[in-house]
Amino acid sequence: MITPQQFLDSFWDERVAAHAETNKRLEVVHAKYFGEPLLQHARDFLMRARVRVVFEDVKQSAESAIVITKESLVGDAFEHKRYHLSADGESWKITRIDRECLYCNGTGQAGTIVCQICDGVGWCDPRKNPQS
């Protein structure tokens, strides 16, 4: 079986290839619809290439894995993500992606009380709680 890290590396590689194809089409759309000076900054509206990823923690069993990553954003900014994987034959499937709660910075505490955004767990599923 491939490791969770190998699986996620393959996922990101394929995503980069898909983004490159999409960006070629977007360049044509931007050239058609953007005027100056926006056209000079059309790159800002393309899909991002692969981000730098550091694997911070991997917990794996026979049936599942949880992988915590630190992924670069713009400049020196980064975000932590938590990938939930489920075994699928000799590989894996991503079943959920959480991100570190932006409100409490993953501590689960907002001052002296439990963070109301992540309910004290430090992680949020953006599909369920878009504010974080």
Give me the domains of the chain, ranges plus CATH numbers: 4-100 (3.10.450.630), 101-132 (no CATH)
Distance, CA of 124 to CA of 105 (rounded, Å)? 11
Q: Are the C-beta atoms of residues 104 and 117 closer than 8 Å to each other?
A: yes
Q: Is the pLDDT of residue 38 over 90?
A: yes
- pLDDT recorded at residue 73: 80
Q: Is the pLDDT of residue 132 over 50?
A: no
Which amino acid appears at position 33 of this protein? Y
- pLDDT recorded at residue 126: 79
Q: What is the rounded average pLDDT of the residues 55-83?
A: 92
- pLDDT recorded at residue 129: 58
Sign of torsion, CA 23 24 25 28? Answer: positive
- pLDDT recorded at residue 51: 74
Phi, psi for residue 99 in degrees, rounded to 5: -125, 155
pTM of the complete model: 0.83
Q: How many helices (H) and strands (E) does the chain have?
A: 1, 7
Q: What is the rounded average pLDDT of the residues 78-82?
A: 94
- For residue range 107-124, list pLDDT tens digits in order: 999 989 999 999 999 999
User: For tokens 């599923």, what's the residue?
Assistant: 125
Instruction: Give the pLDDT band (50/70/90) at residue 50.
Output: low
Closest CA to 79 of 51, 49, 114: 51
- Average pLDDT of the chain is 91
